[in-house]
């Protein structure tokens, strides 16, 4: 009986240690634009972690020093399983609510895009391509960018075009200098539109700088490492989508054309290391994530 009690306590401690790892990733994944990021919520997450560590120490102390009763051992063992189950349920619920939020945002953006023949399906395309590129990046880079935030930023990157007159958006010819000046304001308009949603502040710089170039010749003259990594990912997805989709002033170009152009501007317009990852993505994988209405 003594041995059974010890085994239950050791198993419980191992499960509790696993819970701490699970909780670490759970808390890390909460740092996105849906989670408010408020200090109160951060404090709650820290309290949760502190309690789990406290329980694990308790398991170890009971295992080593206390008299081992079967009831105590069973409670400790099933207690750790209970924590695992609750963590799994909470993670699943949060994941599904985030998925629903993204679906709602996708529908709204689809409606906004549909009013502009030059944008129809573009935001969805940029989102899909950006997330595909993200999935191909090395783990340490992926760890530095929250995928839910990136998905929202990609979907909403051109929301500022709502502030650009339709006569400019739909012009079936090249824009003149004055029109370009207004068009170049769209990242700023986007930030302004999203300003009332405080948790979106996290991604506002990604949206603001999605037209920046590595050589500093982009919309607002930001260059190299001053451009957020997520904005560099958006820029590649945006460029690919812009080249391959039909616009009122140009015919669509092929996947091969897009890859050639993207390679040519690596290091000047687009980030070279991200381009290297992007051009290695097989054509059919990229084509699969292009929305039907954008396909040529
Ligand atoms: Fe844009």
* Distance of CA 33 from the midpoint of ligand 1 (Å): 20
Domain 115-294 has what CATH class?
Answer: mainly alpha
Question: Ligand 1 centre and the CA of 36: distance in Å?
Answer: 26
Predicted confidence (pLDDT) per residue in 144-186, tens digit:
898 889 999 999 999 998 888 888 887 878 888 999 999 999 9
Asked if residue 104 has pLDDT above 60, the reply is yes
- CA separation for the pair 246, 266 (Å, rounded): 23
What span, in angstroms and rounded, lies between the C-alpha atoms of 31 and 151? 14
Distance 186 CA to ligand 1 centre (A): 7
Residue among 234, 245, 240 nearest 293 (CA):
245
Q: Compute the distance from residue 30 Cα to the ligand 1 centre, in Å.
A: 27
What integer best gives the mean pLDDT of the chain? Answer: 88
Compute the average pLDDT of residues 44-65.
90
Ligand 1 centroid to Cα of residue 217, in Å, is 15
Helix (H, G, I), strand (E, B) or coil at 177: helix
pLDDT greater than 90 at residue 290? no
Q: How far is the CA of 163 from the centre of ligand 1 (A)?
A: 12
Cα separation, 161 vs 90, whole angstroms: 37
Q: How far is the CA of 198 from the centre of ligand 1 (A)?
A: 22
| Contact of 144 with 197, CB cutoff 8 Å | no
Q: Does residue 234 contact residue 276 with C-beta atoms inside 8 Å?
A: no
The CA distance from 82 to 195, in Å, is 41
Return the higher-pLDDT residue of 271 and 65.
Answer: 271
| Predicted confidence (pLDDT) per residue in 219-251, tens digit | 999 989 999 999 999 999 999 998 988 776 677
Task: Tell how far the Cα of 100 is from the centroid of ligand 1, in angstroms.
Answer: 25
Residue 111: CB atoms within 10 A of its CB come to 9
Task: Give me ligand 1 centre to Cα 140, in Å.
Answer: 27
Residue 239 Cα to ligand 1 midpoint, Å, equals 10
Cite the DSSP H helix spans in the chain.
Answer: 2-29, 39-65, 70-114, 122-136, 139-143, 147-156, 166-169, 177-183, 186-194, 201-208, 229-244, 255-264, 272-279, 283-288
CB atoms within 10 A of CB 55: 19
For ligand 1, the distance from its centroid to the CA atom of residue 183, given in whole angstroms, is 9
Q: Is 199 exposed, middle or buried (0-12, 13-18, 19+ CB in 10 A)?
A: middle
The pTM is what? 0.80
**Ligand 1: centre distance to CA 193 (Å):** 14
Q: What percent of the chain shows pLDDT beyond 90?
A: 54
Q: What is the pLDDT of residues 196-214, one digit of tens each?
A: 887 788 889 999 999 999 9
175, with CB counted inside 10 A (0-12, 13-18, 19+), is middle
CB 200 within 8 A of CB 186: no
Of 46-60, 192-206, 241-255, 261-275, the poorest mean pLDDT is in 241-255
**Ligand 1 centroid – CA 117 distance (Å):** 15
> Distance, CA 209 to ligand 1 centroid (Å)?
9
CA distances from 240 to 37, 52, 133, 208 (A): 32, 46, 11, 19
pLDDT in tens, 62-101: 888 877 788 888 999 999 999 999 999 998 998 888 888 8
Residue 203 Cα to ligand 1 midpoint, Å, equals 14
What is the domain partition of the chain in residue ranges? 2-95, 115-294
pLDDT band at 54 (very low <50, low <70, confident <90, very high): very high
What is the spatial distance between Cα 10 and Cα 60, in angstroms, rounded to a whole number?
8
**Is residue 76 classed as helix, strand or coil in its secondary structure?**
helix
- The answer to whether residue 116 scores a pLDDT higher than 90 is no
């Amino acid at each position: 009986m003594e041995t059974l009690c010890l085994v239950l306590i050791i198993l419980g401690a191992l499960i509790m240690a696993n819970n701490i790892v699970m909780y670490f990733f759970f808390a890390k994944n909460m740092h996105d634009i849906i989670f408010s990021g408020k200090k109160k919520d951060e404090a709650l997450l820290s309290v949760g972690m502190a309690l789990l560590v406290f329980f694990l120490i308790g398991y170890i102390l009971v295992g080593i020093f206390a008299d081992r009763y079967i009831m105590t051992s069973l409670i400790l063992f099933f207690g750790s399983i209970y924590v695992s189950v609750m963590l799994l349920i909470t993670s699943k619920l949060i994941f599904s609510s985030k998925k629903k939020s993204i679906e709602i945002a996708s529908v709204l953006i689809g409606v906004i895009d549909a009013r502009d023949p030059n944008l129809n399906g573009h935001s969805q395309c940029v989102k899909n391509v950006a997330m595909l590129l993200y999935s191909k990046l090395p783990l340490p880079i992926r760890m530095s960018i929250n995928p839910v935030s990136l998905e929202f930023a990609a979907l909403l990157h051109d929301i500022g075009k709502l502030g650009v007159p339709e006569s400019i958006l739909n012009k079936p010819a090249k824009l003149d200098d004055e029109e370009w000046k207004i068009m170049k304001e769209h990242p700023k308009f986007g930030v302004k539109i999203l300003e009332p949603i405080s948790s979106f502040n996290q991604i506002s710089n990604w949206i603001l700088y999605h037209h920046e170039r590595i050589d500093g010749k982009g919309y607002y003259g930001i260059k190299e490492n001053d451009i957020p990594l997520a904005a560099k990912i958006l820029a590649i997805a945006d460029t690919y989508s812009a080249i391959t989709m039909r616009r009122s002033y140009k015919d669509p170009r092929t996947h091969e054309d897009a890859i050639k152009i993207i390679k040519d501007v690596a290091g000047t317009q687009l980030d070279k290391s991200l381009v290297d990852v992007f051009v290695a993505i097989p054509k059919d994988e990229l084509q699969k994530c292009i929305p039907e209405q954008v396909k040529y």
